[in-house]
């Protein structure tokens, strides 16, 4: 979602004649769009700010200015504290107020002019949760990648006890369906072939139906929205993330069996396989509920594969709880997954729970779970050897001459192939599978290009 927000910030600043630069030392304005989900992400902000300050000092010595702004969830959570720790920062804004950035820049510039070269003065902090959604003030996208993001829902009312999202992104909000369809059409006009719908709880989506909605619906759920998006010509792939098991309703499960553009790969975080921990996490589902949903999805779309998130070492986690998580992993057999050590977040209930798990034990358990998940991922990749996969090439690879694409299962396929294939869905015969990528031969090209991982 921060990638989506950063793209919107770029669009907002274009009329002010700002362009992206690859070189932070040359920037007139540096913006850190930050994440607060785990402590590590937060610590990075202050070390990055230290580096930016050096650039700012160098520029000032040459008579140039560099404004520094901090946006995103760390900004929301820390607010004034950022100005106290880093007084050289000019603007601090949260995820719901970035549309006001042009005004903030104008205000800082006015202050600077009034101070006649004695610096820009005290910074601005805007961590409001406005009643009017920022989406109403954002310009239409000016550019799109082949694989685009589209935020349809934000915030969360679920208050899992480990999580900062409800405090930093605010309460749950769904954009009107008509606005989403319009933005999706625009992205496709700009070259998008794949759209990933985004939300902290994307499957809790319940947006206002367009005025002319058939069946007289007042609101659309995610299943309905996906059906409508699938009618857009030129939009070949649809995905959505991140979902909560509680909001996987039958409409949405059915959509997986009905919409060919909806990719057979779903990221569905479970966090733990232990019912006792799921309860103290306030997830409001059991391991069995999760397994049932997986079964129903497999019935609707037999070739579907899953990814998930796991929190390891949540307060009170016993060896038995840990085993329950390993058991769940074995039962589902994931194609991919993310696992994290529990990280205490300020102001969340789990931060002050008894039974905090020792760091060494967290690390031990994390490695155990990651070994199993990696094994499953590699085994899943191997099942695709000898099959033909449709690959959407969406970017230039790091190795010269290479382009990078993704299978329907988000597996990465780096190939030595001409750039003209960027944006093309191409059939690739998979020859070899690795832990994190696959290798193959392009089938629908006369050149029959051989490839390297
Ligand atoms: N809405 C999604 C998750 C959004 S947060 C859901 O309900 O599942 C993204 C992921 O960050 C979570 O799935 C969780 O695994 C991880 N996460 C959130 N808070 C964390 C914390 N305090 N420590 C470690 N991981 C955390
Ligand atoms: Fe955080 Fe997801 Fe729980 Fe909401 S549902 S509190 S975003 S983990």
CATH number at 70 reads 3.40.50.12160
Residue whose entry in the numeric block shows the structure tokens 């793209």: 7
In this prediction, residue 451 carries a pLDDT of 44
Task: Return the ligand 1 atom nearest residue 283 CA.
Answer: 7
Pick the last residue of a domain from 126, 148, 172: 126
Same-domain status, 179 and 235? yes
**How high is the pLDDT of residue 212?**
66
Q: Which ligand is nearest to the CA of 169?
A: 2
The tokens of 367 are what?
A: 């490695």
> In 87-208, where do the E strands start and end?
91-93, 124-126, 147-151, 153-154, 173-174, 194-198, 206-208
Peptide bond into 417 cis (omega under 30): no
In which region does residue 355 sit, left (phi positive, over 0), alpha (psi from -120 to 50) or beta (all else)? Answer: left
Burial pattern 400-419, b for ≥16 Cβ within 10 A else e, equals eebbbbbbbbebbbbbebee
Domain count for the chain, please give it: 4
Residue 403 within a domain: yes
Q: Is 315 in the pocket of ligand 1 (CB under 6 A)?
A: no
Contact, 242 vs 200, CB < 8 A? yes
Residues 185 and 189: their CA atoms lie apart, in Å, by: 6
**271 C-alpha to center of ligand 1: Å?**
8
User: For residue 62, is it within any domain?
Assistant: yes
CA–CA distance, 148 with 8 (Å, rounded to integer): 12
**Residue 289 and residue 227 share a domain:** no
Residue 232 and residue 283 in one domain? no
User: In angstroms, what is the span from residue 270 Cα to ligand 1's centroid?
Assistant: 10
Which ligand has the nearest atom to the CA of 161? Answer: 2
Q: Flag whether 447 is in a domain.
A: no
User: What is the Å distance from ligand 1's center to 243 Cα?
Assistant: 11
Whole-angstrom Cα distance, residue 278 to residue 162? 11
- Atom 4, ligand 1: residue with shortest CA distance: 200
Ligand 2: distance of its center to the CA of 166 in Å?
A: 7
Q: Supply the pLDDT for residue 112.
A: 75
| 223 and 198 housed in the same domain | yes
Residues 386, 389, 391, CA angle at the centre, nearest 5°? 140
Whether residue 356 lies inside any domain: the answer is yes
- Residue 345 in contact with ligand 1 by CB distance below 6 A: yes
**pLDDT tens-place values along the chain, 453 residues long:** 999 999 999 999 999 999 999 999 999 999 999 999 999 887 889 999 999 999 999 999 999 999 999 999 999 999 999 999 999 999 999 999 999 999 999 998 888 777 666 665 689 999 999 888 899 989 889 889 999 999 999 999 999 999 999 999 999 999 999 999 999 999 999 999 999 999 999 999 999 999 766 667 799 999 999 999 999 999 999 999 999 999 999 999 999 999 999 999 999 999 999 999 999 999 999 999 999 999 999 999 999 999 999 999 999 999 999 999 999 999 999 999 999 999 999 999 999 999 999 999 999 999 999 999 999 999 999 999 999 999 999 999 989 999 999 999 999 999 999 999 999 999 999 999 999 999 999 996 534 444 443
Ligand that comes closest to the CA of residue 167: 2
**Does residue 337 share a domain with residue 305?**
yes
Does some domain include residue 426? Answer: yes
Q: Would you say the CB of residue 200 lies under 6 angstroms from ligand 1?
A: yes
Regarding whether 324 and 341 lie in a shared domain, the answer is yes
CATH number for the domain harbouring residue 419: 2.40.50
Distance CA 422, CA 409 (A): 18
Closest CA relative to residue 353, chosen from 184, 162, 183, 181: 162
Class of residue 264 by CB neighbours under 10 A (exposed 0-12, middle 13-18, buried 19+): middle
Same domain, 315 and 392: no
Question: Which atom belonging to ligand 2 lies closest to the Cα atom of 159?
Answer: 6
C-alpha closest to that of 88 among 125, 50, 61, 131: 50
Distance, in Å, from the CA atom of 342 to the CA atom of 56, rounded to the nearest integer, reads 36
Among protein residues, the one with the nearest Cα to ligand 1's atom 8 is 269
**Chosen domain end from 365, 383, 401:** 383
Output the CA 267–ligand 1 centroid distance in Å.
12
Is residue 153 in contact with ligand 2, taking CB distance under 6 Å? no
**Number of the ligand 1 atom closest to the C-alpha atom of 162:** 22
Q: Give the residue from 440, 406, 405, 429 showing the smallest Cα distance to 419.
A: 405
Distance CA 289, CA 95 (A): 33
Q: Say which residues have a Cβ less than 8 Å from residue 423's Cβ, sequence separation at least 6.
A: 146, 191, 193, 393, 394
Q: Is the CB of 163 under 6 A from ligand 2?
A: yes
Residue 355: count other Cβ atoms within 10 Å of its Cβ: 10
Residues 277 and 185 in one domain: no
Pairwise CA distance, residues 377 & 334, whole Å: 7
| Domain identity same for 300 and 362 | yes
CA distance 424 to 443: 13
Distance 168 CA to ligand 2 centre (A): 11
Q: Say whether both 323 and 340 belong to one domain.
A: yes
Domain boundary among 338, 360, 383: 383
Q: Where are the beta strands (DSSP E) in 325-382?
A: 336-341
Instruction: Decide if 453 is inside a domain.
Output: no
| CA-closest residue to ligand 1 atom 10 | 309
CB 450 within 8 A of CB 431: no
Tell me what pLDDT residue 337 has.
97
Centre of ligand 1 to C-alpha 37, Å, is 7
Per the domain annotation, does 132 fall within a domain? no
Q: Which residue, among 151, 153, 139, 162, has the nearest Cα to 195 in the 3D structure?
A: 151
pLDDT the model gives residue 116: 64
Say yes or no: CB of residue 343 within 6 Å of ligand 1.
yes
Residue keyed to tokens 């406005």: 130
Q: Can you give the residue range of the structural domain that contains 211?
A: 140-263
Ligand 1 pocket test, pick from 204, 311, 341, 350 with the greatest ligand atom count within 8 Å of Cβ, gives 311
- For ligand 2, whether the C-beta of 413 sits within 6 Å is no
Rounded to the nearest angstrom, the distance between the alpha carbon of 383 and the centre of ligand 2 is: 33
pLDDT at 448 (0 to 100): 42
Which is the closest atom of ligand 1 to the Cα of 344?
22
φ and ψ at 229, to 5 degrees?
-65, -35
The answer to whether residue 448 is domain-embedded is no
Centre of ligand 1 to C-alpha 356, Å, is 17
Question: Are 33 and 5 contacting, i.e. CB atoms less than 8 angstroms apart?
Answer: yes
Please work out whether the CB of residue 200 comes within 6 Å of at least one atom of ligand 2.
yes
Host H or E run for residue 178: helix 177-189
The burial of 361, by beta-carbon neighbours within 10 Å (0-12 exposed, 13-18 middle, 19 or more buried), is given as middle
Alpha-carbon distance 320 to 18, whole Å?
A: 55
Q: Which helix (H) or strand (E) holds 350?
A: none
How many Cα neighbours within 13 Å face the side chain of 77? Answer: 24
Which CATH number covers residue 258?
3.30.750.210
How far does the centroid of ligand 2 lie from the alpha carbon of residue 426, in Å?
36
């Amino acid at each position: 979602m921060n990638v989506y927000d950063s793209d919107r910030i770029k669009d907002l600043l274009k009329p002010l004649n700002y362009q992206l630069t690859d070189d932070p030392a040359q920037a007139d304005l540096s913006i850190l769009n930050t994440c607060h989900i785990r402590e590590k992400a937060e610590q990075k902000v202050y070390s990055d700010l230290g580096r930016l300050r050096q650039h700012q000092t160098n520029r000032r010595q040459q008579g140039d200015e560099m404004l520094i702004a901090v946006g995103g969830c760390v900004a929301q959570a820390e607010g004034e504290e950022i100005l106290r720790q880093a007084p050289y920062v000019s603007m601090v804004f949260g995820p719901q107020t970035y549309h006001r950035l042009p005004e903030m820049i104008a205000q800082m510039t006015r202050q600077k002019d009034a101070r006649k070269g004695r610096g820009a003065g005290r910074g601005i902090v805007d961590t409001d949760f406005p009643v009017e959604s920022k989406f109403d003030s954002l310009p239409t996208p000016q550019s799109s990648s082949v694989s685009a993001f589209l935020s349809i829902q934000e915030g969360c009312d679920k208050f899992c006890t480990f999580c900062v999202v409800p405090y930093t992104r605010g309460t749950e909000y769904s954009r009107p369906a008509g606005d989403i369809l319009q933005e999706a059409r625009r992205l496709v006009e700009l070259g998008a072939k794949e759209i990933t719908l985004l939300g902290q709880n994307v499957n809790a989506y319940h947006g206002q139906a367009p005025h002319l909605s058939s069946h007289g619906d007042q609101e659309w759920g995610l299943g309905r929205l996906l059906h409508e998006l699938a009618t857009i010509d030129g939009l070949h792939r649809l995905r959505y993330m991140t979902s909560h098991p509680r909001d996987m309703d039958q409409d949405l499960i059915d959509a997986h069996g009905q919409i060919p553009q909806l990719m057979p790969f779903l990221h569905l975080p479970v966090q733990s396989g232990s019912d006792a921990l799921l309860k103290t996490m306030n997830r409001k589902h059991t391991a069995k509920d999760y397994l049932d949903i997986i079964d129903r999805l497999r019935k609707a779309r037999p070739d579907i594969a899953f990814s998930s998130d796991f929190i390891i070492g949540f307060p009170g986690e016993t060896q038995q709880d840990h085993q329950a998580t390993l058991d769940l992993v074995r039962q589902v057999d994931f194609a991919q997954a993310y696992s994290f050590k529990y990280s205490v977040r300020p102001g969340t209930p789990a931060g002050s729970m008894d039974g905090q798990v020792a760091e060494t034990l967290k690390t031990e358990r994390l490695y155990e779970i990651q070994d199993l998940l990696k094994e499953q991922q590699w085994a899943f990749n191997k099942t695709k050897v000898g099959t033909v996969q449709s690959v959407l090439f969406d970017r230039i690879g790091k190795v010269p001459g290479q382009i990078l694409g993704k299978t329907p299962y988000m597996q990465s396929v780096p190939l030595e192939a001409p750039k003209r294939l960027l944006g093309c869905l191409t059939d690739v015969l998979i020859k070899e599978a690795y832990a994190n990528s696959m290798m193959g031969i392009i089938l629908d090209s006369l050149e029959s290009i051989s490839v390297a991982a």
